[in-house]
């Protein structure tokens, strides 16, 4: 979403009557019955904007649902139901069969029911609404980060951007990285188990769809705090064994989108708990910085120890 389009959302920010949390987060929260909240989110994917014409239909089916599942993971919610509305230029049965296979693969992987939908003729556009549940008051929003909290990122951010660059031919990935990076781009794995496990650990959380620094800025904005990210702490080493230059790798990790890793904050005392969670889930979790007081902005401590405002660090290669 461009900032121009973020402005648009201002027209749809009037007060709600029976909604606990509306807009501005990964999903809305609704209290329907004692003890639990409904968590809902909607996402529209347009051919040419969010995916290229000719994208493999099965991969596209997986990804269309997966990016919505990820929104619920980012709220520490359990995804349960999805609705799929589609505009399609023609009723191409081969495409539909492959696309629906991909959707159902993802639905089965995360226990999501496809509860309904709509299909119509038009430029290829996919709109998923996902619904899930969370115990009342235990959703993790973007707004809870406090100064002193540590900033964490799951898995291996940057792979999806490297995979996309390889597919577009702007970068040639070595064999050791290629498959994993392309898979990250085409078959993102929403971190549902991690999100659920972080319910009483994380103070704020979101999923990284637009790039680590850009999405972190949203979290800081909602929490009213700043942060310092330490370049030396970034998970670059696993990408660094194939001859891609280090600057490109750092760019991919900090600014590459589409990985759907979880970015979260937690108090320093939670370190051991997070380490054992990483072991249990067999998922690397990296502490990459810490939260600063309001007004500090988003700083990057470079490898030579200097803190620089990220606005000056030029991490926009993959945007």
Contact yes or no for 35/137 (Cβ under 8 A): no
The angle subtended at Cα 143 by Cα 263 and Cα 269, nearest 5°, is 60
Nearer to a copy of itself, 31 or 273 (CB): 31
- Told to check if 42 binds a copy of itself by CB under 8 A, we report yes
Nearer to a copy of itself, 50 or 138 (CB): 50
- Told to check if 137 binds a copy of itself by CB under 8 A, we report no
- Told to check if 247 binds a copy of itself by CB under 8 A, we report no
CB of 209 to a copy of itself, least distance (A): 11
Nearer to a copy of itself, 131 or 161 (CB): 131
Nearer to a copy of itself, 41 or 156 (CB): 41
Contact residue for a copy of itself among 52, 111, 306, 314 (CB under 8 A): 111
- How far apart CA 253 and CA 163 sit, in angstroms, is 12
What residue has token string 């969010």? 50
- Told to check if 105 binds a copy of itself by CB under 8 A, we report no
**How many Å separate Cα 61 from the centre of its chain?**
17
- Told to check if 269 binds a copy of itself by CB under 8 A, we report no
Binding residues for a copy of itself, rule CB under 8 A, total: 68
- Told to check if 38 binds a copy of itself by CB under 8 A, we report yes
Question: Which positions lie near a copy of itself, rule CB under 8 A?
Answer: 1-2, 4-9, 11-12, 14, 16-19, 22-23, 27-28, 30, 32-34, 36, 38, 40-50, 80-81, 83-88, 91, 96-97, 99-100, 103-104, 111, 113-123, 125, 127, 129, 131, 133
């Amino acid at each position: 979403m461009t900032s121009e389009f973020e402005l648009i959302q201002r027209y749809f920010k009037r007060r709600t009557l029976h909604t606990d949390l509306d807009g501005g987060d990964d999903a809305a929260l609704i209290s329907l019955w004692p003890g639990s909240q409904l968590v809902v989110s909607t996402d529209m994917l347009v051919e040419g904007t969010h995916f290229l014409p000719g994208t493999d239909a099965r991969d596209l089916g997986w990804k269309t649902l997966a990016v919505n599942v990820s929104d619920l993971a980012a709220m520490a919610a359990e995804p349960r139901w999805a609705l799929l509305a589609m505009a399609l230029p023609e009723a191409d049965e081969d495409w539909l069969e492959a696309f629906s296979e991909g959707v159902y693969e993802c639905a089965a992987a995360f226990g999501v029911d496809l509860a309904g939908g709509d299909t119509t003729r038009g430029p290829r556009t996919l709109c998923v609404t996902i619904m899930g549940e969370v115990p009342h008051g235990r959703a993790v929003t973007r707004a809870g980060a406090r100064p002193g909290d540590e900033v964490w990122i799951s898995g291996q951010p940057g792979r999806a951007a490297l995979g996309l660059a390889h597919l577009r031919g702007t970068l040639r990935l070595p064999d050791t990285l290629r498959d994993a990076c392309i898979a990250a781009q085409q078959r993102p794995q929403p971190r549902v188990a991690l999100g659920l496990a972080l319910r009483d650990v994380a103070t704020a959380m979101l999923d990284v769809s637009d790039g680590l620094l850009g999405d972190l800025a949203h979290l800081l904005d909602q929490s009213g705090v700043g942060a310092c990210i330490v370049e030396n702490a970034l998970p670059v080493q696993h990408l660094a064994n194939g001859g891609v230059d280090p600057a490109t790798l750092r760019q991919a990790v900090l600014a590459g989108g589409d990985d759907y890793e979880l970015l979260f904050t937690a108090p320093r005392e939670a370190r051991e708990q997070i380490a054992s969670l990483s072991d249990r889930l067999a998922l690397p979790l990296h502490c990459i910085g810490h939260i600063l007081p309001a007004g500090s902005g988003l700083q990057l401590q470079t490898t030579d120890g200097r803190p620089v405002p990220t606005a000056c660090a030029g991490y926009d290669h993959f945007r």
